[in-house]
Structure formats: structure tokens, C-alpha cells
Structure 1
Amino acid sequence: MTLLDWLLIAILVYSIVMSWLKGFIREVLGLITVLAALLLAAWFYRGFANMFKDVVRTENLALFFGFSVIFLATLVAGFVIIWLITKFVKFAKLQWADRMLGAAFGFIRGWVIGAVVLLALTAFDVQTERLKNSELVPYFLPGSRV
């Protein structure tokens, strides 16, 4: 096994363990919350920037504050919802299922991250000899071609 194989294993194990600890709900809804916060802030920041134009000196700073307020407010709202749902899951004694699904999600995420790492290595023709000698690269390469 090469150093690259050990790196891919470390990525997979770390992703699986972290997702198992957090659970599927926190992982997936956290990702959705961040994406929603970015989208909402990108769509509506100009309207909120008008509230800050009298307070700050430049329009760019007002735009930044408008984006930040929407982004942070969406994050807080999303994390409150996640907290409530995880409390319900714990109350319903479904935490084991949440963790198992979280571990499965972590495996998929780790595989995708490993595929992206290999995509970067193959795109820039870095360490091609290590890629050829690796035992795990054939399992990750189909994902990097997607």
C-alpha cells in the first residue's frame, strides 16, 4: 500500500467517524442550511443593503453587511431547526438510525472527497507513478471521472 492509499483510507475513516458522531440529520440539514444561506443571501442582499447605506460610508460595505445579515440569520434559523429535529430524534429513540445513516453519508462524502483528490492529481499529472502503484485508486477513479 502506498502513501496515497493511506491518505484515501484516512479521508474515508475521518468522514465516516465524523458523520457517525454528528448523525445524518445534522450532516445533511447542515449542508442544506449552508447552501440555503448562501442562496438567500445572494438573492436578497441588495434589499438589506439599503438599511445600512446611511450607517456606513461605502456602498460596498453596505452590500457586505446586507449579505452577512441574511447569511447569518438563515444559518441561525437553520441550526435552531436542526437542534429541534435532533431533540425529537433523541426523544423518539431513533438516534441509532440517525448515526448509521450518518456513517453511510460519511462514507459517500469521503469517497467523493477522495475522488476529487485523485481528479486533481490526474488533471495536473502529479505523482502518476504513485497512482499506478496504488491499490485503492481503481475504486476511486470512476467517481473522479463523473
Structure 2
Amino acid sequence: MQLGQLNWLDYVIIGIIAISVLISLVRGFVREALSLITWAVAFLVAFNFSHDLSLLFSGHIKSASASYALAFAILFLVTLLIGAVVNYLLSTLVKKTGLSGTDRVFGMILGGVRGVLVVAVLILLAGFTTLPKETAWQHSVLLPHFQSCVTWLEQFIPDALDFITGQ
């Protein structure tokens, strides 16, 4: 692969991964991992308990969907806030123990993995559009290297749809 063979799509892929790696290098593994876990937990808490909390709002809000949305937002944001406090405390502990160099190296690795997954998800979603028919897509040097990751992600689509629809 030569640099001259890359097209704009390849540069976007490189940019997404590089930005993810740099952010994780600056933030470190502990902060990045806890952030990802916090977002996932916040979604799960909000998804699983919004209905129960929305019942408390039913006397004040006429629309069931509005009370559900408010409950979801409250649970999501409160969970994110709690996660941010825990993240701050653990990150401070890592700095005080002198592991910040190691933390940053592992953060870079996590950032690279996250960048690859973000690119794979974007490729998967772009597959539902007309973008794969574009010349840049067909002549991309890097795109074929992500196909196995996209194929791996595709197996989760039915389960994810069942989870979202509650079936």
C-alpha cells in the first residue's frame, strides 16, 4: 500500500482511528474504560427503569410518552453523573500511584480498538445507503480490511433489534 493509492474515504478512516487513539492517549485507559462502561450502564439503567419512574410523573404529565422520555433522560443523566464522579476518583488514584504512563499506553490501545469499531459500525450503517456504489468506496485501500469486523458486527443486529423492541 502506497500513500498515493489512498482516497478521501481512506483518509477519513485513518482520521477516525487517529482521533480515537489521541483522545485515549490523553485520557488514559482507566478514564476511557470507565467512560464506556458508564455510558453502557446509563443506557441499561434508563432502558430498564424508565417505565417505573415515569409512573411517578403520570399525575403531573398528561402524555405517557413525555413522562417516559423525562424518566429516561433523568435516569440516564443521573447515572452518567455518578459514573463521572467514580471515574474522577479512580483516575485521581491512578495518577497518585504513578501508573499514568502505563495507563496512557493501554488507553492508546483501547482507543485504537474503539476507533476500529467505530469505523466498522459506520461501514455497516453505510451499507444501508448508496455509498457502497460510489467510486471512492469501491477503490478504497483500507475498506476491505474492515470487512471481517463488519461481518462480525452483523451477527448482533437481530439480537440488538430484539433488545431495543423488547421482544
2:37 pairs with 1:32 = yes
Shift of the 137–81 alpha-carbon distance from structure 1 to 2, 3 Å rule, reads same
After TM superposition, the structure 1 stretch with the greater mean CA deviation from structure 2, 79-88 or 61-70, is: 61-70
Shift of the 142–85 alpha-carbon distance from structure 1 to 2, 3 Å rule, reads same
Q: Within 2, Cα distance between the matches of 1:131 and 1:93?
A: 45
Identity %: 30
| Pairing of 1:18-57 with structure 2 (within 5 A) | 18-57=23-62
RMSD: 2.0
CA deviations over 1:108-128 (Å, ceiling 9, x no partner): 11122223334445564322x
Give the alignment partner of residue 12 of structure 1, picking from 4, 12, 17.
Answer: 17
Give the alignment partner of residue 68 of structure 2, picking from 63, 67, 86.
Answer: 63
Shift of 1:139: 2.5
The unaligned stretches of length 5 or more in structure 1 are none
Give the alignment partner of residue 107 of structure 1, picking from 105, 112, 119.
Answer: 112
Shift of the 31–51 alpha-carbon distance from structure 1 to 2, 3 Å rule, reads same
Consecutive aligned runs of 4 or more in structure 1 exceeding 6 Å deviation: none
After TM superposition, the structure 1 stretch with the greater mean CA deviation from structure 2, 118-127 or 65-74, is: 118-127
Question: How many pairs does the alignment contain?
Answer: 145
In the other structure, the counterpart of 1:88 is 93
The unaligned stretches of length 5 or more in structure 2 are 1-5, 153-167
Shift of 1:84: 0.6
Q: Within 1, Cα distance between the matches of 2:94 and 2:25?
A: 15
In the other structure, the counterpart of 2:84 is 79
Give the alignment partner of residue 142 of structure 1, picking from 148, 158, 161.
Answer: 148
Q: Within 2, Cα distance between the matches of 1:115 and 1:58?
A: 38
Q: Within 2, Cα distance between the matches of 1:67 and 1:10?
A: 33
Shift of 1:105: 0.9
